[in-house]
């Protein structure tokens, strides 16, 4: 077996026993030795590879909460407020008011007409969020200006809401008589085109044939996702909700079965609003675990309690939303959640639960506490995902129960001002994604992007947790800021813990997978405000080198 030794300008290992090094030896896709050139002699002959001699190596970044759709969204028009870069590097400019959104859609409709496309072919777009427009909500009155004949579906950035126009309401059969929670209405009771959460969005999804946002991943999307990961230094990523149907499995196994697929994928089984009951679902996931490979790992389960804070569909404790909006939606009723959770837990699986508002986090902690009394299981590693409003007392309860937290640090930048002004108000915005409180309570911590909700970029996510600044220049809860090293831990070993892979990835040390993020600068040599701007050269996955455009 040949051994390759990589020389680097600096290696930041995240292993406290050997925090820094200049050389790392790799054999059989694993790390054999870490240290200086002299130490590399211990294992005999090697090939010295100096291509990283002026680069900085870190453990490959681990994105514990994102979605493969990050790579598959770009066949649909992007309607977000922020500029955004696609996998090819093209920047889509942000749309800064409602009229700009309508105008973009009108142009798309005109182009589809010019191309002679079916006048009933829907426009499906994504990335929209009206919260940036000062409280004005979008209705059919806006969208009908773009087209009063062609169905239009606009997925919000948060993935929990959509807006549709009048032709789409008709096609989906949603009327004043429709009795589904989450169908928003004008004062006269007519639906206004805004739909909250899966039950209300389902008639639209069904009518457009599962196209667009909720369509299964395809091969091109898998490649787009891997390309984004290479650009951002990510070597392990979740797909934190996947139906794991036969078609989904074929796509995953086709991509991950290729030696040149550059990222390790952990899809999480969708255990809510699904086609399976909990018992059947648990059996399905357990059976799939026999098919695990290095690049494709089954075993995660995703459950969901509430909605989105900026979509006003999250469940908040007293005093609720500062703008007076009614409390949000239980995507899964807490009693149902507890019953289903117990089935997956007893099957030995690891459950990741979406809880955005603090009432939802508390409901999850209450339920999991009862389940653990009935069915104790050491080292279960259940994780609360997002947990954006969790306070210190809830973190202490989580620590006592052995729960991990994967906090949505990117919100500090993308919605921090809106949370302060419009959703939770200034007091609770100080503890938005309270990373330091989680660590102080002893809760294992990861941070995430929820891409495509926000862009996949762990160094940016770390920057959010370190600086906690908003676009309007505020610092939210200075006491909750992480150090750079704590933030780097959260995007490597911390996230690896939440995926039960901390024995295998997350640090550069003997025995682990040779997964590296190859950077142009050292994170401790730049100012904390510049963390997000460090250029990423590419990645190494299980010993295979992936240049960014390779
Ligand atoms: Zn998500």
Calculate how far, in angstroms, residue 221's C-alpha sits from the geometric centre of ligand 1: 17
Calculate how far, in angstroms, residue 449's C-alpha sits from the geometric centre of ligand 1: 8
Calculate how far, in angstroms, residue 396's C-alpha sits from the geometric centre of ligand 1: 24
Calculate how far, in angstroms, residue 2's C-alpha sits from the geometric centre of ligand 1: 41
Calculate how far, in angstroms, residue 408's C-alpha sits from the geometric centre of ligand 1: 10
* 3-state SS track over 236-286: EEEEEEECCCHHHHHHHHHHHCCCCCCCEEEEEEECCCCCCCHHHHHHHHH
Calculate how far, in angstroms, residue 305's C-alpha sits from the geometric centre of ligand 1: 12
Calculate how far, in angstroms, residue 387's C-alpha sits from the geometric centre of ligand 1: 12
Give per-residue pLDDT as tens, 141-164.
999 999 999 999 999 999 899 999
Least confident range of 81-95, 160-174, 435-449, 532-546: 81-95
Calculate how far, in angstroms, residue 500's C-alpha sits from the geometric centre of ligand 1: 19
Calculate how far, in angstroms, residue 92's C-alpha sits from the geometric centre of ligand 1: 22
Residue 98 structure tokens: 């409602």
Calculate how far, in angstroms, residue 74's C-alpha sits from the geometric centre of ligand 1: 18
Calculate how far, in angstroms, residue 234's C-alpha sits from the geometric centre of ligand 1: 17
- pLDDT score recorded for residue 87: 82
pLDDT band at 212 (very low <50, low <70, confident <90, very high): low
Q: Are 261 and 255 in contact (CB under 8 A)?
A: yes
pTM equals 0.95
Distance CA(361)–CA(353), nearest Å, equals 9
Calculate how far, in angstroms, residue 158's C-alpha sits from the geometric centre of ligand 1: 9
Bridge partners (DSSP) of residue 25 are 5, 33
Calculate how far, in angstroms, residue 160's C-alpha sits from the geometric centre of ligand 1: 10
Residue with tokens 């606009």: 154
Give how far Cα 426 sits from Cα of 30, 413, 419, 444, 474, Å. 48, 15, 8, 27, 11
- pLDDT score recorded for residue 115: 96
Calculate how far, in angstroms, residue 324's C-alpha sits from the geometric centre of ligand 1: 26
Distance CA(205)–CA(437), nearest Å, equals 39
Calculate how far, in angstroms, residue 466's C-alpha sits from the geometric centre of ligand 1: 22
Calculate how far, in angstroms, residue 67's C-alpha sits from the geometric centre of ligand 1: 7
pLDDT band at 430 (very low <50, low <70, confident <90, very high): very high
- pLDDT score recorded for residue 247: 94
Calculate how far, in angstroms, residue 238's C-alpha sits from the geometric centre of ligand 1: 10
Calculate how far, in angstroms, residue 393's C-alpha sits from the geometric centre of ligand 1: 25
pLDDT of 43 higher than 80: yes
Residue 14: is the preceding peptide bond cis (ω within 30°)? no
Calculate how far, in angstroms, residue 448's C-alpha sits from the geometric centre of ligand 1: 9
What's the mean per-residue pLDDT of the chain?
Answer: 96
Distance CA(186)–CA(425), nearest Å, equals 26
Give per-residue pLDDT as tens, 217-241.
899 999 999 999 999 999 999 999 9
Quick one: which of 232, 237, 304, 283 has its CA closest to 85?
A: 232
Calculate how far, in angstroms, residue 17's C-alpha sits from the geometric centre of ligand 1: 34
pLDDT band at 550 (very low <50, low <70, confident <90, very high): low
């Amino acid at each position: 077996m040949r051994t390759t030794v990589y020389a680097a300008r600096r290696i930041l290992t995240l292993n406290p026993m050997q925090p820094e090094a200049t050389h790392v030896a790799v054999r059989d896709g694993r790390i054999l030795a870490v240290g200086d050139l002299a130490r590399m002699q211990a294992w005999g002959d090697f090939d010295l590879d100096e291509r990283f001699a002026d680069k900085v190596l870190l453990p490959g970044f681990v994105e514990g909460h994102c979605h493969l759709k990050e790579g598959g969204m770009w066949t649909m028009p992007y309607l977000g407020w922020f500029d955004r870069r696609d996998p090819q590097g093209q920047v889509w400019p942000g749309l800064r008011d409602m009229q700009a959104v309508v105008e973009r859609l009108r142009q798309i409709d005109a182009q589809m007409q010019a191309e002679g496309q079916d006048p009933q072919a829907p426009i499906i777009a994504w990335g929209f969020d009206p919260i940036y427009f000062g409280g004005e909500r979008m209705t059919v009155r806006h969208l009908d200006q773009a087209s009063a004949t062609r169905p239009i579906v606009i997925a919000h950035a948060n993935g929990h809401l959509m807006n549709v126009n009048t032709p789409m309401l008709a096609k989906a059969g949603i009327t004043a008589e429709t009795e589904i929670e989450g169908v928003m209405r004008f004062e006269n009771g007519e639906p206004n085109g805004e739909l909250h959460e899966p039950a209300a969005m389902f008639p639209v999804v069904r009518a457009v044939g599962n196209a667009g946002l909720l369509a299964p991943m395809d091969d091109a999307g898998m490649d787009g996702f891997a390309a984004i990961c290479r650009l951002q230094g990510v070597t392990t990523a979740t797909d934190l909700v996947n139906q794991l149907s036969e078609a989904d499995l074929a796509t995953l196994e086709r991509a991950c079965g290729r030696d040149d697929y550059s990222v390790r994928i952990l899809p999480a089984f969708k255990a809510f609003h699904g086609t399976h009951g909990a018992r059947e679902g648990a059996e399905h996931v357990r059976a799939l675990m026999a098919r695990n490979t290095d690049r494709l790992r089954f075993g995660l389960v995703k459950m969901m309690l509430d909605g989105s804070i900026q979509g006003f569909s999250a469940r908040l404790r007293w005093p609720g939303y500062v703008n007076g909006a009614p409390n949000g939606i239980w995507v899964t009723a807490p009693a149902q959640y507890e019953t289903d959770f117990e089935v997956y837990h007893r099957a030995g699986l690891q459950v990741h639960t979406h809880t955005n508002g603090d009432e939802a986090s508390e409901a999850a902690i209450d339920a999991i506490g009862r389940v653990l009394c009935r069915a104790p299981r050491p080292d279960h590693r259940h994780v609360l995902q997002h947990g954006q409003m969790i306070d210190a007392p809830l973190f202490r309860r989580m620590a006592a129960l052995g729960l991990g937290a994967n906090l949505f640090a990117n919100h500090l930048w993308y919605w921090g001002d809106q949370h302060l002004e419009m959703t939770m108000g200034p007091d609770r915005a100080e503890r938005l994604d309270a990373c330091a409180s989680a660590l102080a309570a002893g809760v294992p911590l990861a941070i995430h992007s929820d891409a495509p909700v926000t862009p996949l970029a762990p160094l940016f996510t770390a920057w959010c947790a370190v600086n906690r600044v908003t676009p309007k220049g505020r610092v939210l809860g200075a006491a909750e800021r992480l150090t750079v090293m704590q933030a780097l831990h959260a995007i490597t070993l911390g996230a690896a813990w939440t995926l039960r892979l901390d024995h295998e990835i997350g640090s550069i040390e003997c025995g682990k997978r040779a997964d590296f993020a190859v950077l142009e600068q050292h994170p401790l040599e730049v100012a904390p405000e510049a963390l997000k701007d460090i250029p990423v050269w590419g990645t190494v996955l299980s010993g295979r080198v992936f240049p960014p455009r390779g």
